[in-house]
């Protein structure tokens, strides 16, 4: 605490640690773990009824890596993966890392418009995909866009003869080429591209290195106290950093076990997985924990094995966090804050923090990372207790947006500070609260959505003259999308149902506005800018969302 009369401490903190950063590539780190824990359980795919020890997992990873090498994939080539959570996702993550191919995560909710853009922008050479999932026919969508994607040479549908052939080829191949390829990789090489929705209407590919994501996964695991005795239930998607970094890399860097409860989130399957596998850790965005706690037979599950876990991805309601501790027994549960561009975690609560700290803040700075809160106008660091923009710097900051140096320069300044666009306050003890966002980004159930992308699409509707999309409070998802639209003269009234029909199949389901409000004009500033803050305030009244707006979050 500062002394009376002395200047307030600046809102700056750096994460000290007795544990040094890892200098390994992901493949080398994985091999060290396999050597140390080869007979321990490494991966459980509950839906497929399959399980692997570290020795068995390494055999699958190496077979796929050698098969991809035989296919002609070289260091730096982009390999896309478009699938829900499954064992093959994990195989592909580590196999591409071992040969230096850049894994491009593709959201399973994407449709043809978004798929075609990502395939082209990243220059994906090989695409690993599931043939179909639920109502999505991935194979048909790939066939539709393939003529427009000249870089795409190979499509490997999981479970197909092509997939099996590649893996079988690798299983019977000489291991020497893989060892040679692995020895030529640097920890600073790009290894992963994750797309975040862009304010320009197109997603940007955050490009991450071995060093970025291996260390972030490792230190998330350190703060969760992971050892080879832990089993981590991962219902969050692998295509997010939450799944593949905080989940998979945190596990494999500690010899822990990854448990996939289902291909996509199902509350009952998650609770069953925790009980059956005796999981010690459980991950989720707040909506997942809310759904689990709401299961009618929740009290019948034996969750006594749970010790820790992570709640992240969107603001965490205080009451939900308390129930997770009390009813699920996750006494050491932590909250993480971060973004894809920072690998992702920058702050995390600790197991020994008071319950109040753990339910009402996003914690303190992560090991080997710096954070500061600045005045968005002057760029100067503000005193503690003063709101400003949260910035972060260190090993975790991405290499940049794939082939978009101009966008990279907008996000990362000359001193390598990543500007998050989030408004935050740091208290005297270094704990951080997220209080809002400078940008208009909407976080719906853990999905980051930039309204501009949806607005650009809505302009293609024949009856819409102008559109503005905002986030409005929602008790289940944190935020929901609302479109304010101006219609062309003579157009029929546009309902939310009609707009949903127009968007379905063209936009991912979570990007489709739930609410529609027809207006003659938007609230504007004197300089002609749309006042989205006023729109949000009016939307709360129009939709009767006062209770959702008053919900407390960390």
For 315, how many CA atoms within 13 A lie in the half-sphere containing its CB? 28
Which of 108, 388, 49 lies closest to 240, judged by CA? 108
CB-CB contact of 312 with 335 (8 Å): yes
pLDDT tens for the 554 residues of the chain, in order: 545 567 889 999 999 999 999 999 999 999 999 999 999 999 999 999 999 999 999 999 999 999 999 999 999 999 999 999 999 999 999 999 999 999 999 999 899 999 999 999 999 999 999 999 999 999 999 999 999 999 999 999 999 999 999 999 999 999 999 999 999 999 999 999 999 864 345 789 999 999 999 999 999 999 999 999 999 999 999 999 999 999 999 999 999 999 999 999 999 999 999 999 999 999 998 889 988 999 999 999 999 999 999 999 877 777 788 899 999 999 999 999 999 999 999 999 999 999 889 878 999 999 999 999 999 889 999 999 998 999 999 999 999 999 999 999 999 999 999 999 988 999 999 999 987 667 677 888 888 787 878 987 898 899 998 888 999 999 899 999 999 998 988 898 899 999 999 999 999 999 999 999 999 988 875 445 678 888 999 999 999 998 888 876 66
Strands 515-518 and 478-487: parallel
* All residues at 6 or more sequence positions from 35 whose CB lies less than 8 Å from its CB, including other chains: none
Which of 507, 427, 435 lies closest to 469, judged by CA? 507
Order of strands, sheet of 231-233, starting from the edge strand that comes earlier in the sequence: 50-53, 41-45, 257-260, 231-233, 281-284, 308-311, 334-338, 345-348, 364-365
Q: What is the DSSP letter of 9?
A: P
The kind and range of the H/E element at 107 are: none
What is the rounded distance in angstroms from the CA atom of residue 439 to the CA atom of residue 437? 5
CATH assignment of 447-553, among 3.20.20.140, 1.10.3720.10, 3.30.300.30, 3.40.50.1370: 3.30.300.30
CB-CB contact of 217 with 246 (8 Å): yes
For 492, how many CA atoms within 13 A lie in the half-sphere containing its CB? 5
Which tokens go with 419? 């500007």
Kindly provide the residue ranges of all beta strands, DSSP E only, lying in 368-524, ordered along the sequence.
Answer: 369-374, 388-394, 400-401, 418-426, 432-437, 442-444, 447-449, 464-474, 478-487, 515-518
- In order of 19, 472, 480, 515, the CA distances from 483 in angstroms are 48, 10, 10, 6
Q: Burial, 358: exposed, middle or buried (Cβ in 10 Å; 0-12, 13-18, 19+)?
A: buried
What are phi and psi for residue 362, nearest 5 degrees? -100, 20
* All residues at 6 or more sequence positions from 299 whose CB lies less than 8 Å from its CB, including other chains: none
What pairs with residue 133 in β-bridges?
136
pTM exceeds 0.75: yes
Q: Burial, 26: exposed, middle or buried (Cβ in 10 Å; 0-12, 13-18, 19+)?
A: buried
What is the rounded distance in angstroms from the CA atom of residue 241 to the CA atom of residue 176? 31
Q: Which sequence spans correspond to the domains of the chain?
A: 55-184, 447-553
Q: Is the peptide bond before 344 cis (omega within 30 degrees of 0)?
A: yes
CB-CB contact of 398 with 206 (8 Å): yes
What is the rounded distance in angstroms from the CA atom of residue 183 to the CA atom of residue 548? 53
Which tokens go with 434? 């997220």
The kind and range of the H/E element at 133 are: none
The kind and range of the H/E element at 209 are: strand 204-209
Residue reference for tokens 């491009």: 104
Q: Degrees (nearest 5) of the Cα angle 218, 223, 226?
A: 65
* All residues at 6 or more sequence positions from 95 whose CB lies less than 8 Å from its CB, including other chains: 61, 62, 64, 65, 68
Q: What is the CA radius of gyration of the chain?
A: 23
Q: Taking every pair of C-alpha atoms in the chain, what is the biggest distance, in angstroms?
A: 74
Which of 297, 346, 260 lies closest to 84, judged by CA? 260
CATH code that applies to domain 55-184: 3.40.50.980
């Amino acid at each position: 605490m500062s002394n009376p009369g002395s200047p307030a401490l600046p809102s700056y903190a750096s994460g000290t640690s007795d544990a040094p950063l890892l200098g390994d590539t992901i493949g080398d780190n994985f091999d060290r773990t396999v050597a140390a824990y080869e007979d321990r359980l490494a991966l459980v795919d509950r839906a497929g009824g399959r399980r692997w020890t570290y020795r068995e997992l390494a055999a699958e990873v190496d077979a796929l890596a050698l098969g991809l090498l035989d296919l002609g994939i070289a260091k730096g080539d982009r390999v896309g993966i478009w699938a829900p959570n499954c064992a093959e996702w994990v195989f592909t993550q580590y196999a591409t890392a071992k040969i230096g191919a850049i894994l491009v995560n593709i959201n399973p909710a994407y449709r043809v418009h978004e798929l075609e853009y990502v395939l082209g922008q990243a220059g994906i050479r090989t695409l690993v995909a599931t043939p179909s999932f639920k109502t999505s026919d991935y194979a048909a969508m790939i066939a539709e866009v393939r003529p427009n994607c000249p870089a795409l040479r190979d499509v490997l549908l999981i479970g197909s003869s092509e997939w099996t052939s590649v893996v079988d080829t690798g299983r019977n191949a000489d291991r020497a080429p893989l060892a040679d390829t692995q020895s030529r990789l640097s920890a600073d090489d790009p290894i992963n591209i994750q797309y975040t929705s862009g304010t320009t209407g197109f997603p940007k590919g955050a490009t991450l290195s071995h060093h970025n994501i291996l260390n972030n996964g490792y230190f998330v695991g350190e703060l969760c106290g992971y050892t080879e005795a832990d089993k981590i239930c991962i219902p969050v998607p692998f295509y997010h950093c939450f799944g593949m970094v905080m989940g998979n890399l945190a596990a494999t860097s500690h010899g822990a076990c990854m448990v996939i409860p289902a291909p996509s989130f199902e509350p009952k399957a998650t609770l069953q997985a925790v009980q059956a596998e005796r999981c010690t850790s459980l991950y989720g965005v707040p909506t997942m924990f809310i759904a689990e706690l709401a299961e009618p037979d929740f009290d019948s599950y034996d969750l006594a094995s749970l010790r820790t876990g992570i709640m992240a991805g969107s603001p965490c309601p205080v009451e939900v966090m308390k129930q997770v501790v009390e009813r699920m027994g996750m006494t050491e549960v932590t909250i993480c804050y971060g973004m894809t561009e920072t690998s992702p975690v920058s702050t995390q609560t600790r197991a020994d923090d008071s319950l109040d700290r753990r339910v009402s803040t996003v914690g303190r700075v992560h090991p080997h990372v710096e954070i500061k809160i600045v005045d968005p106008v002057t760029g100067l660091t503000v005193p503690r207790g003063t709101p400003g923009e949260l910035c972060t710097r260190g090993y975790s900051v991405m290499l940049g947006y794939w082939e978009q140096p101009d966008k990279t320069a907008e996000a990362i300044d000359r001193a390598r500070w990543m500007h998050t666009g989030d408004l935050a306050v740091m208290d005297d003890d270094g704990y951080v609260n997220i209080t809002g966002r400078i940008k208009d980004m909407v976080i719906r159930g853990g999905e980051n959505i930039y309204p501009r992308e949806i607005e650009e699409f809505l302009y293609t509707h024949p009856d819409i003259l102008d559109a503005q999309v905002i986030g409005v409070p929602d008790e289940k998802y944190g935020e929901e999308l609302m479109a304010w639209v101006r219609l062309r003269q003579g157009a029929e009234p546009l309902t939310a149902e009609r707009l949903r029909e127009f968007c379905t199949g063209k936009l991912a389901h979570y990007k489709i506005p739930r609410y529609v409000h027809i207006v003659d004009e938007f609230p504007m500033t004197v300089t002609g800018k749309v006042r989205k803050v006023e729109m949000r305030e009016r939307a709360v009244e129009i939709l009767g969302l006062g209770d959702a707006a008053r919900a407390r979050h960390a």
